[in-house]
Chains A and B, each alone.
Chain A
């Protein structure tokens, strides 16, 4: 892959990003509410990832923004103008699709120039612009090829160039990396982010891959059941998930039954404050949601926990500890992992300042996404 550093600087006419507001969007299919009052504001030049499991409404939200779906209620504001009922062709939004969407009957150059042709740009000007964009994605030497002669990664880079050629107000990426193999995915991820930052283009990126979302986005919007669960910068989203769903969907969490104690809860025989205070916590039994790195493990023959399984992850090793009917995951340095073989009795301690709690499930299990 050609390094981005060798690519030319984009034209001075490259657009400044637009401000996008999705305001209380609702979209209903039969009995399913794909979007249920979904709201999100994206600042100019920002990359926001819509992250969530299948069926959470992230693609529907993107399609409402692109103009392929008309919301049943709510507004789609781009720079303050409601475009909810404007057709897709008039929205000036570049989109890269999950499946390879290059036109098979056109070569790479014509694919990239297609949007300019639709806008009536003169042949020479659109060719020059298409070549410039192909240089930007490092594929200028592939201009004469047809899509079927290219790899998946190359096709998606051409699709990106094609979307950028029209100088869109907003760039929409609908899981563009999901069909690619891991190495290409990583390379293209970095390239997309670098281009997006260089062009300062407002971008919405839909993905179900949390690693992609956390590594690329300025902010991540975690969605569930057609609503935004939490919108935050990646570090906050990971360290301070506001709901049990976010804690379990983003990163690894273990559910541990806890009991109330004053302003906090008792976790492994120690009182720990509840994140956000105990006042807002519903009545009833509670589980604490604990990250593997927020726990430490001590050898203790009288401890309540038993190491049941050990997973080597490289620099760290994950211990699966059975305690009080739950399985708790704890990360330790791999160089020390031999201290805790399966069957070893251990004691667990929480090291974080506070813990997130949630109403107890009938069976407390660890969730890994």
Chain B
């Protein structure tokens, strides 16, 4: 507020020439924002247009209507959802306690952990999945949940950073010690003190993990499982309009999922505020 006031006063005091100069960056900012928006929106717009056209390039909903009846779609969709949620649960179960432990007991290991979590970005997915397929036992290779384990590794860079920044934003050691001195055991301390204060980090980690898994193609394809992205790629050969419509619905579905998670967080915040008002 204070800075706005100062800015306004400076604007009033300044002569017209500098004011004109000051407007230029705003124009550039607008142009850059427009270019960036176009970069993202144009392909989506083009795909949407294609999805709502028939073979005669006329507007049609046939592709959307035909989706549920296509062979393999439901199975691929359900498999993707199962993999997404199993990956999310495994990732959080692995990364949350690990990151908290490192923050509390092994702060010097943070750099090592950071390095380890970067590896999935450095190592190409094809190398990773070929190595996994060679090393995994047969019973695991025959299960789609092998992909979940690989996705856990893939999501580590994003999940670790989300949780790490969440933990860095609070005085974890003091909060944990305060809880323990008041009689809280480790489980209650984690559940009632640490997790609620880590909500933003956990939310961000969850959103990133779900988005990653629901869009992953390479590993699922090489592991010979037909997840939704694999089904879309395969179905392009049959009907490109329907495949594009599914890709668009997948995009919308992911957004909806993220919106639901963020809404849940907001409603929790509102409940907290209401409790405060009581």
Interface residues of A (CB under 8 A from B): 66-68, 87-95, 97, 99-105, 107, 114-115, 118-119, 144-146, 159, 162-163, 166, 172
Contacts and interface: CB of A to CB of B under 8 A. Distances in A.
B276 A146 contact: yes
B182 A115 contact: yes
B181 A66 contact: yes
Contacts of A101: 171, 174-175, 177-178
A172 B177 CA distance: 12
B183 A166 contact: yes
A369 to B, nearest CB: 27
Contacts of A104: 170, 197
B7 to A, nearest CB: 27
Nearest to A165: B182
In the complex, the 4 A-B pairs of residues with the closest C-beta atoms, listed nearest first: A115-B182, A118-B183, A105-B196, A101-B178
Contacts of A162: 178, 182
B272 interface: yes
Contact of A166 (B182, B192, B196): B182
B183 A119 contact: yes
Given A95-B181, A114-B179, A105 B197 contact: yes
B185 interface: yes
Interface in B149-201: 170-171, 174-175, 177-185, 188, 192-193, 196-197
13 contacts: A66-B177, A66-B181, A89-B185, A97-B177, A101-B177, A102-B178, A103-B193, A103-B197, A105-B196, A114-B182, A118-B182, A118-B188, A172-B181
Contacts of B183: 89-90, 92, 115, 118-119, 166
Nearest to B268: A105
Interface of chain B, main secondary structure: helix
A104 to B, nearest CB: 6
B272 A95 contact: no
Contacts of A107: 275-276
Contacts of A88: 177, 180-181
A63 to B, nearest CB: 9
Contacts of A89: 180-185
Contact of A68 (B177, B197, B272, B275): B177
B276 A95 contact: no
A68 B181 CA distance: 9
Contacts of A100: 171
Interface in B130-156: none
A114 to B, nearest CB: 5
A92 B182 CA distance: 7
Contacts of B278: 144
Given A103-B197, A105-B196, A146-B276, A118 B184 contact: yes
Contacts of A159: 178
Interface of chain A, main secondary structure: loop
B277 interface: yes
Nearest to A146: B276
Contacts of A95: 177-178, 181
Contacts of B184: 89, 114, 118
Contacts, number: 77
Nearest to B275: A107
Interface of B: 170-171, 174-175, 177-185, 188, 192-193, 196-197, 272, 275-278
Nearest to B272: A105
Given A105-B197, A144-B278, A97 B174 contact: yes
Contacts of B175: 101, 103
Contacts of B171: 99-101
Contacts of B177: 66, 68, 88, 95, 97, 101
Contacts of B197: 103-105
Contacts of B178: 95, 97, 101-103, 159, 162
Contacts of B272: 105
Nearest to B177: A68
Contacts of B193: 103, 105
A117 to B, nearest CB: 8
Given A88-B177, A89-B180, A115-B183, 17 more contacts: A66-B177, A68-B181, A89-B183, A89-B185, A91-B181, A94-B181, A101-B171, A101-B174, A101-B177, A103-B179, A105-B197, A105-B272, A118-B184, A119-B183, A144-B278, A145-B276, A172-B181
A162 B272 CA distance: 20
A119 B181 CA distance: 12
A100 B197 CA distance: 15
Nearest to A66: B181
B190 to A, nearest CB: 13
Contacts of A119: 183
A95 B171 CA distance: 16
A68 B27 CA distance: 58
A144 B276 contact: yes
B180 A87 contact: yes
A331 B36 CA distance: 72
B87 to A, nearest CB: 27
A159 B177 CA distance: 13
A168 B270 CA distance: 35
A261 B8 CA distance: 78
Contacts of A118: 179, 182-184, 188
Nearest to A87: B180
A166 B180 CA distance: 12
A104 B169 CA distance: 11
Nearest to A119: B183
The CB with the most chain A CB atoms within 10 A, among B179, B181, B197, B272, is that of B181
A68 B179 CA distance: 12
A159 B175 CA distance: 12
A67 B183 CA distance: 12
Contacts of B275: 107
